[in-house]
Amino acid sequence: MMNLHYTVKGQTVTLTSDQGALILTVLTDQIIRVFQDRGRHTNSYAIEGEKKVETPFDLKEVGDHLELSTGQLTVTVGPDLLLDVFDAQGNPLILDYRGKRRPIAKTIDAAHQSIMRAEGHEVSGVSQTEDRYYQVVKALDPDEQFYGLGDKTGYLNKRSYHYDNWNYDEPRPHIETFTNLYKSIPVLFGLKKGRPWGIFFDNTYRSHLDLGRENADYYFYSAVDGNLDYYILGGSSLKEVVSNYTYLTGRVPLPQRWMLGYQQSRWGYSMSQDRVEQIVDTFAKYHLPLEAIHFDIDYMDGYRVFTWNKNIFKDPAGFLADVKKRGVRVIPILDPGVKEDPDYRIYQEGLDKGYFATNPDGSVYVNRVWPGKSVFPDFGRPEVRDWWAGHCRFLVDSGAAGIWTDMNEPAVFDGEIPEDTVFSDEDQKSDLARMNNVYGHNMAKATYQGLKKATGRRPYVITRAAYAGTQKYSTVWTGDNQSLWPHLQMSIPQLCNMGMSGFSFAGADIGGFSADTTPELLTRWIEAAIFSPLLRNHSALQARDQEPWVFGPKVLDIYRHFLHLRYHFIPYLYDCFAKQMNDGLPVMRPLVLNYPEDARTRNLNDEYMVGDQVLVAPVVEQGQVSRMVYLPEGDWVDLRTMVTYGGHRDILVEAPLDQLPVFVRADSVLPWGRLVEHMDDQPEESMTFRLFGQHGDYTHYQDDGYSFDYEQGAYNLYQIHMENQGQCSVTVTHHGFKPVYRRIRLVLPERTLTLSLDDKSQAPVYRETEA
């Protein structure tokens, strides 16, 4: 007889024993929520909307255990409330650990409490925190790998690392041993003997993950507060597990097409109009594509948000309009800190409405950032987000094409913000301990909503701080990296894990933000990053200039060549973004996501895939002019030479400074964009497709490139079929966007065809014409 009792209500099973209660909720046949109420607020910032779908499941008593099975996942729970998870074939995926382990100290002894009090620390709440502290310990298989967790430092495979989830602005050069940076994305993907699984820990309090560092027999998650709340993610493939996670937390909305183009930034550009004009004109002089220039904090009046420094920009709207006429958009920065100034409208308005975070005694919390003494919007409240969103129109009316949000961990200058500082959790009062990790998320959400309302277009928001689900509102970058070769190297696994963690639209500062780049480093960085979704060169005020031309004609020519390559691939990148809205898979991804059964891909840190068809193997070592490239199964075509190589092996390729090894999966069809210096909103009249191999099929997406009309079906889908020596065809399988291509060019290895739109046909039909 079971010493475990349970009740069933709909798709929720509540289990009770003398160990307490545990709640299992079946969301889908591959997603199961595990919840234990510890008396904290239960709303999720990562998961919005109803995710539960009607799913049949079976319950069976097996000895003293209860077994819940959906057909895809089986969860067994015993009277000790420990649980195990198995796949559809009965293979173990996630097992609670039952062996002995070194305990984690949960208390502070009296002597150390006395020392802490003497230094001014508050320790009266230690026992309360201890009471709510919990750990989830899982058995670790000798052949188990870990991925995800956002942009944590270190290698791609996170086994043997340990990390903290606590958003923090770390000014020192980021190194492998750092446990936390700007983002907290507590999703973990695993391969246990090649079998995939995932866990999403939805807790915004400070938490810790140890992935076999403490002991090779187990991994564990712990949190200082909050409910026990995590989601088991199953799937027949690693792709399907990632897709289930993005179903849960949301997928990246389709960006405007120009956002995939090249962008230039530097702290200091906005210190004078002349400097901005000089940068824009020099890009034009050297025929370098440029979509946007970013303004750091100097454009503001004394670093006051939602202002312009009129000593620099006497007519901001006129100046930005003039820059736009040259084909370049402006993206200004916003920080959360609002200057404490009774003559400053934003401050006084927020103060009058009670919109700023407070101390426990009710007084407004003040700390120093760029403007000096500043206060901080309480973004956890919907009305504060609406207030901030409304003020975003000020920048839109000035001509801003997007907003870059920074310092939103939140970062301050005078020590850290006390964790008992009062921040709201929607309709409840809470504190920084609960809200720190979603402060940047809520600021990005407010900014997104403000831009969407003000423009009607797909918003362009960039945020440094984020939580799981922020991908619905903002692109991200990896923060203040350095002009160091190890930072170039680390950017690849960082961006690959960000992609697997839901953030398809991400990038790193090309050339490095701080310190001085070199000609070789800048060149190798633009090569390595040329397929990253966010393509931005950004540097600090004190760093040397790192525009493409500063190191002479050789670097300039190489830089221009790779920007041209980027623009050829923008239609493919745009197709990848359209596809990920349906499957949730990242644009830039590690090889292990596509080839998890191949053990060689599981620890590959210096190669990445773009979608399913392009493999990039950049040079990331100083002085290297050739490198080994691992090609997974199948045949691969070298984009530079069109030579085909068999896969599942290493090849040695030449890679002098001006070359980037790129391989296309054989029998792929890829769209090939035309070269432009700026993208506009005008629909393309023609498109080129290239065949790599002897035959292939491809689905191409087209819409207006900027509006939300695609949500009502205003897009076209083209099915491309190409055979080198046989029949080629183009079929429009969905026609919701009125302007279709007038001409389609098919480039095959041994011939080129031109198809033209048949104006006599009522539906879009293409027929071969003279080239």
Give yes or no: residues 598 and 582 share one domain. no
pLDDT tens figures, 219-278: 999 999 999 999 999 999 999 999 999 999 999 999 999 999 999 999 999 999 999 999
Give yes or no: residues 578 and 609 share one domain. no
Flag whether 226 is in a domain: no
Cis peptide before 486 (omega within 30 of 0): no
Whether 125 shows a pLDDT value over 80: the answer reads no
- Of 637, 665, 693, the domain-final residue: 665
Give yes or no: residues 336 and 303 share one domain. yes
Determine which one of 406, 527, 607, 638 is catalytic: 406
Residue 522: C-alpha distances to residues 485, 510, 535 (Å): 10, 7, 13
The mean of the pLDDT values for the chain is 95
**Residue 725, domain CATH:** 2.60.40.1180
Is 50 an annotated catalytic residue? Answer: no
Flag whether 373 is in a domain: yes
Mean pLDDT of 611-640: 99
Report residue 1 as tokens: 């007889």
Q: What is the pLDDT of residue 375?
A: 99
Q: Which helix (H) or strand (E) holds 310?
A: none
At residue 101 the predicted structure's pLDDT band, cuts being 50, 70 and 90, is: confident
Give yes or no: residues 355 and 478 share one domain. yes
Flag whether 105 is in a domain: no
DSSP 115: H
Half-sphere exposure in the Cβ direction for 67 (13 Å, CA): 13
The owner of tokens 């919007």 is 377
Q: What is the pLDDT of residue 1?
A: 55
Give yes or no: residues 602 and 573 share one domain. no
- Is the pLDDT higher at 357 or at 2? 357
Determine which one of 84, 296, 419, 480 is catalytic: 480
Residue among 482, 542, 546 nearest 508 (CA): 482
CB 432 within 8 A of CB 420: yes
At residue 770 the predicted structure's pLDDT band, cuts being 50, 70 and 90, is: low
Q: What is the pLDDT of residue 639?
A: 98
Q: What is the pLDDT of residue 107?
A: 57
Q: What angle do CA 177, 168, 255 make, to 5 degrees?
A: 105
Determine which one of 96, 202, 409, 667 is catalytic: 409
Report residue 431 as tokens: 């504190």
Mean pLDDT of 293-303: 98
Of 168-172, 458-462, 539-543, the least confident:
168-172
Residue among 720, 726, 715 nearest 751 (CA): 726
Mean pLDDT of 319-348: 99
pLDDT tens figures, 136-185: 999 999 999 999 999 999 999 999 999 999 999 988 888 888 888 999 99
Report residue 711 as tokens: 């949500």
Residue 696: C-alpha distances to residues 613, 693, 720 (Å): 11, 8, 8
Report residue 485 as tokens: 């070769």
**Cβ-based neighbours of 342, under 8 Å, separated by 6 or more:** 348
Flag whether 188 is in a domain: no
Give me the amino acid identity at 205: Y
Q: Which helix (H) or strand (E) holds 520?
A: helix 519-529
Whether 715 shows a pLDDT value over 70: the answer reads yes
The β-bridge relationship of strands 403-405 and 461-463 is parallel
Q: Over pLDDT 70: what percentage of the chain?
A: 97
Mean pLDDT of 666-681: 96
Q: Order of strands across the sheet with 338-339?
A: 338-339, 372-375, 367-369
pLDDT tens figures, 378-415: 999 999 999 999 999 999 999 999 999 999 999 999 99
Question: 645 — alpha (psi -120 to 50), left (phi > 0) or beta?
Answer: beta
Mean pLDDT of 3-18: 96
At residue 129 the predicted structure's pLDDT band, cuts being 50, 70 and 90, is: very low
Give yes or no: residues 606 and 734 share one domain. no
Cα–Cα distance measured from residue 556 to residue 559, given in angstroms and rounded to the nearest whole number: 5
Cα–Cα distance measured from residue 482 to residue 543, given in angstroms and rounded to the nearest whole number: 10
The β-bridge relationship of strands 292-295 and 263-266 is parallel
Q: Order of strands across the sheet with 65-69?
A: 58-62, 65-69, 74-77, 83-86, 92-95
Q: How many domains does one find in the chain?
A: 4
Q: Is the dihedral of CA 154, 158, 162, 163 positive or negative?
A: positive
Whether 85 shows a pLDDT value over 90: the answer reads yes
Q: In sequence order, which ranges of 120-185 are alpha helices (DSSP H)?
A: 126-132
Flag whether 639 is in a domain: yes
Of 52-61, 115-124, 160-169, the least confident:
115-124
Flag whether 433 is in a domain: yes
pLDDT tens figures, 549-585: 999 999 999 999 999 999 999 999 999 999 999 999 9
Q: What angle do CA 81, 84, 85 make, to 5 degrees?
A: 135
Q: What is the pLDDT of residue 128?
A: 38
**Residue 375, domain CATH:** 3.20.20.80
**What is the full DSSP assignment across 612-666?**
TTEEE----STT--EEEEEE-SSEEEETTT--EEESSEEEEEE--TT---EEEET
- Its domain, for residue 635, covers 589-665
Give yes or no: residues 330 and 269 share one domain. yes
Flag whether 278 is in a domain: yes
Residue 373: C-alpha distances to residues 341, 364, 641, 662 (Å): 9, 12, 59, 50
Q: Order of strands across the sheet with 263-266?
A: 506-507, 475-477, 461-463, 403-405, 329-334, 292-295, 263-266, 536-537
Q: What angle do CA 362, 364, 367 make, to 5 degrees?
A: 135
Is 426 an annotated catalytic residue? Answer: no
Cα–Cα distance measured from residue 426 to residue 532, given in angstroms and rounded to the nearest whole number: 35
Cα–Cα distance measured from residue 170 to residue 409, given in angstroms and rounded to the nearest whole number: 10
> Biggest alpha carbon distance in the chain?
90
Question: 332 — alpha (psi -120 to 50), left (phi > 0) or beta?
Answer: beta
Give yes or no: residues 650 and 686 share one domain. no
Give yes or no: residues 347 and 465 share one domain. yes
Rg (CA), the chain: 27
**What is the full DSSP assignment across 343-382?**
T-HHHHHHHHHT-B-B-TTSSBP-EEETTEEEE-B-TTSH
Residue 297: C-alpha distances to residues 283, 394, 407, 413, 541 (Å): 23, 16, 11, 16, 11
CB 586 within 8 A of CB 504: yes
The β-bridge relationship of strands 461-463 and 475-477 is parallel
- Of 559, 587, 615, the domain-final residue: 587
Give yes or no: residues 388 and 501 share one domain. yes
Give yes or no: residues 610 and 580 share one domain. no
N-term to C-term CA, the chain:
80
Flag whether 531 is in a domain: yes
Give yes or no: residues 342 and 416 share one domain. yes
Residue among 505, 498, 531, 503 nearest 607 (CA): 531
- The whole-model pTM stands at 0.95
Q: What is the pLDDT of residue 771?
A: 56
**Residue 49, domain CATH:** 2.60.40.1760
Is 406 an annotated catalytic residue? Answer: yes
pLDDT tens figures, 481-523: 999 999 999 999 999 999 999 999 999 999 999 999 999 999 9
Report residue 99 as tokens: 């062996």
Residue 119: C-alpha distances to residues 110, 116, 665 (Å): 14, 5, 62
- Of 558, 587, 616, the domain-final residue: 587
Mean pLDDT of 706-710: 98
